[in-house]
Chain A
């Protein structure tokens, strides 16, 4: 070997050694972690490119528009005149306003981006918690897949549950060092201090205050805190008897945190009314749901999934080599009970139960980064750092960014077509017609009240029609059909299914425009085409639009 060559090799080696301190071995990502990042990138793109569906988004955007334009909480649904007088609790007013601003200023692509960011961050946060509990990147990856696929139904529309889920994860993240579920795998902080520091109290208060302005699901967070407090009290009682146990410092801490969080939820424009609503209408709805089949039904995919999950949690607890915290048992039982009465709550319970199960996996060495591996005694024999995984992670992140709609303002490119932006169910042709139609004078039908004439259409279409159909559009029923009086709901269903007397009902409600979904309303379609008072003005592949024709010839 020549000297020059040796110098070059030395220089090359020095260059390599110089790289190590710059990046650090914590930047060396394992292949499992790389796969996890790849999954998140794919999930982000999947969510971002999921066409926007009919439900939720446009209702919240309409409500947000009402709030922004009037500068006050709505007392009724605007442009749904039949809901007038029915109490409306705008429990997600902050979220609604944000959706309106995003949708009106930035358009549907921004809505898609918002959904993708909120959902991905929520899943990421929960996976972080699961990793903190299990110290297993493999189990975290598994959880990421379960959560990512389990929440699929949430990806097609922007709904307040998404930020709610995010805040829920943040709350757990903040309180986790206080050992709500006992000693977890890797957090050194947990071992250092059992107490809840001041900033955590403040953070929890801020999170619950935000949550109570964003979504009505904040009570689920308090529900979990209640379970933890009960578990702590039970643990105290078991250790030191009833009196001491109930008044133990651990019990006091969690009870006070629960009450402090409760007080924080009052920091919203509705104040105590929000809770009045929760213990009356929402509780009634929950009970009503139980009687009408909203509870867990075993022989379904959801039912089997929930049972499987609960079985897995139970198995994890039974096989666990670490002490089982009573709080874990109580929270699991409470959540299982909740899912039993309302299977839709599985979205909320899933990550918590996964986290509890994760805490009882057999202790394994963390595999997330190479930093967690014990260094070799001889540094020279340690394998060289390999950043291929890191580079791949960066590549995944870049691809996710570049291929998503988020990058459009930076990278440009061709905008998504409307067909790809919206789900095929969105009746864009109907809203276009309503937006461009000539103004009808209700007087020609004998109505004197210019504000009354309505458009009757499928309730799930109506939010979109209100959003995109022009400011003059007023609908019979929106997706919030429970905001209508029962009689009106009954009448809606009669007309929707073309039952006898549908025409008289439309007269009674002063309906001028009739929008029909041909696939779901075949009877009404055939009935209305034979009716002399209605004239077909537009037919598309899936819808009919009819206008009430002027009734000339009645002059005496």
Chain B
């Protein structure tokens, strides 16, 4: 009996343990799968309001107030008959922010710029109702259509980074064609589809840095665990000049992440911090070594071969390289990582001069590059462009406030062309005086030349070919008288008389024009 009881107890225990363990095992397996899925979809902790990294350097030598306001006034985005490129809107918004008001009907205010990017209605009112949507709903979140035409963004997550940099909170409403969402959905989509080795990643890294609420770690769909150390390694992996805008965006992002690390919260490991430090220092050294004496850089700034010489010196390349260099330096707080002040001043002044002399068509053509340059100049006055505008706009007279107008006709454009001179009239005066002075001189020179040529002609004409010589006659006898012979001989003479030709009759009298040349005689007088 005892044996049977023992067996029954053992069996009961077995049945109980198995009925417990089996569901636990199944649950654990399901949980493991679910946790993996959750881990892959889990996003880092983010703050609602992005970090605002302020510029710290105020150097009027880089750009004076007058120069700054003149420059900025040219970089407002004009309202034209044709729809504004999303790329331009994106850059204009990044430069000016969404709060700026210009009080000028010809240019777009910040609110309008923002609405085009985050509100499908505004985009359609700008581009027409048939335009393909910029914001698309996807299972991962909201996708910003990129590199698919003028009504789409220019770079991956550039629009997201713009919204971040101008301080738009993650809860900001955005309106797509399918409904209302938030900026957070754009960021979520960017992170869920992020791959460390995607070709464009600078803006994603920047947006993540500004929205991160401390060190982050999240898994990509590949399972790769991303943190700021790894992101930073990626940013430093490529050669300095490689990438969008000759590597300028990567340096800008690195500079911003360094500021976040030093000013807000530690996001780097100690090793990474040192590596970023040395990377930025190396970039500064290269820039210092490769600056042109006029103050600009071009695409060859990292010191390696470029595709062709023609591209090397294009204006656009200079604007890109110089504007971006000044922009990321402006966000570097550590003086050790900056070049000598003279380098920055020369670059700033080159940008000011260059922007001032650009035609409107060139401004439009290089608008995206110029926003970086204009923003950089403002940052070197420790301000954002909108703040500079607010401060300096009242000083700008109506006459001087040159709206970025629609493209003008060629004659008008020529009339407005002030290249190389303060005023066009100055050029006209100078040119007229020069030409008048030259006319007198040329007349005197002409007379002298004619006179001397006439003298030469007269001297040749004075040559006389006249000559004469006489004949000879001889008569006599020779022999001894017996047989003497009489003889008689003669030879004829010759002569030539050079008669006077036309014009030889009058000698070249002193103070007179040469013969047959009437310098001052007018046709009327001749006729008369």
Contact = CB atoms under 8 A, between A and B. Distances in A.
B516 interface: no
Contacts of B242: 446, 507-508
B26 to A, nearest CB: 11
Contact of B195 (A252, A452, A487, A553): A487
A75 to B, nearest CB: 9
Contact of A507 (B15, B198, B239): B239
B197 A82 contact: yes
Nearest to B32: A276
Interface in A478-508: 485-488, 491, 507-508
B300 A554 contact: yes
Given A85-B225, A448-B282, A556-B300, A280 B239 contact: no
Contact of A252 (B14, B33, B36, B304): B14
B285 to A, nearest CB: 10
A551 interface: yes
Given A448-B240, A488-B197, A86 B224 contact: yes
Interface in A251-291: 252, 255-256, 259, 275-276, 279-281, 283
A256 B301 CA distance: 71
* Central interface residue in A87, A259, A446, A510, by most chain B CB within 10 Å: A446
Nearest to A275: B32
Nearest to B240: A446
Interface stretch (B85-93, B229-237, B376-384): B229-237
Interface in B426-448: none
Contacts of B230: 84-85
Contact of A510 (B7, B238, B275): B238
A447 interface: yes
Nearest to B15: A247
Interface string B227-256: 100100100111111100000000000000
A4 B286 CA distance: 110
Interface string B261-283: 00000000000000100110011
How many A residues are at the interface, by size bracket?
Answer: 35 or more
B29 interface: yes
Contact of B11 (A247, A452, A553): A247
A508 B237 CA distance: 8
Contact of A449 (B223, B275, B292): B275
Contacts of A488: 197
B238 A556 contact: no
Given A247-B14, A449-B233, A85 B224 contact: yes
B239 to A, nearest CB: 4
B402 interface: no
* Central interface residue in A81, A85, A281, by most chain B CB within 10 Å: A85
B238 A552 contact: no
Contacts of B392: none
A447 B241 CA distance: 9
Interface in B293-341: 297-298, 300-306, 312
A555 B224 contact: no
A256 B13 CA distance: 12
A39 interface: no
A485 B195 contact: yes
Contacts of A249: 7
A556 B237 contact: no
Contacts of A491: 197
Interface string B154-172: 0000000000000000000
A445 interface: yes
A84 B292 contact: no
Given A485-B222, A556-B301, A449 B236 contact: yes
A443 interface: yes
B394 interface: no
A552 B305 contact: yes
Given A85-B226, A551-B305, A556 B233 contact: no
Nearest to B298: A556
Nearest to A482: B222
A488 to B, nearest CB: 5
A449 B237 contact: yes
Contacts of B411: none
A509 interface: yes
Interface in A501-551: 507-510, 551
Contacts of B292: 556
Nearest to A443: B282
Contacts of B220: 485
B307 to A, nearest CB: 10
A241 B195 CA distance: 57
A555 B222 contact: no
Contacts of A552: 305
Given A86-B224, A276-B32, A487 B197 contact: yes
B199 A554 contact: no
Nearest to B296: A556
A486 B305 contact: no
B149 to A, nearest CB: 22
B21 interface: yes
A85 B225 CA distance: 5
Contacts of A87: 223, 225
A125 to B, nearest CB: 31
B481 to A, nearest CB: 115
B55 to A, nearest CB: 25
Contacts of A555: 289-290, 300, 303
A510 B222 contact: no
A309 B305 CA distance: 65
Nearest to A555: B303
A378 to B, nearest CB: 51
Given A85-B224, A87-B223, A452-B237, A279 B14 contact: no
B361 to A, nearest CB: 27
A309 to B, nearest CB: 31
Contacts of A82: 197
A91 to B, nearest CB: 15
A509 B237 contact: yes
Contact of B198 (A276, A447, A448, A487): A487
Interface string B339-366: 0000000000000000000000000000
Contacts of A448: 236, 240, 278-279, 282-283
B245 to A, nearest CB: 15
A554 B305 contact: yes
Contacts of A485: 195-197, 220, 222, 224
Nearest to A454: B237
A508 B238 CA distance: 5
A446 B239 contact: yes
B314 to A, nearest CB: 13
A246 to B, nearest CB: 8
Interface in B195-209: 195-199
Contacts of A449: 233, 236-237, 275, 279
B17 to A, nearest CB: 9
B32 A279 contact: yes
26 contacts: A81-B233, A82-B197, A87-B225, A247-B11, A255-B18, A275-B32, A276-B32, A276-B36, A446-B241, A446-B302, A447-B239, A448-B279, A449-B275, A486-B195, A487-B198, A488-B197, A491-B197, A507-B238, A508-B238, A508-B242, A554-B305, A556-B292, A556-B297, A556-B298, A556-B300, A556-B312
Given A85-B225, A487-B196, 14 more contacts: A85-B224, A247-B14, A446-B240, A447-B237, A447-B240, A449-B237, A485-B197, A485-B220, A486-B195, A491-B197, A554-B302, A554-B305, A555-B303, A556-B301
User: Would you list the 8 A-B pairs with minimal beta carbon distance, nearest first?
Assistant: A446-B239, A551-B304, A554-B304, A487-B195, A446-B302, A551-B305, A448-B282, A85-B224
Interface of B: 7, 10-11, 14-15, 18, 21, 29, 32-33, 35-36, 195-199, 220-227, 230, 233, 236-242, 275, 278-279, 282-283, 286, 289-290, 292, 297-298, 300-306, 312
Interface of A: 81-82, 84-87, 247, 249, 252, 255-256, 259, 275-276, 279-281, 283, 443, 445-449, 452, 485-488, 491, 507-510, 551-556
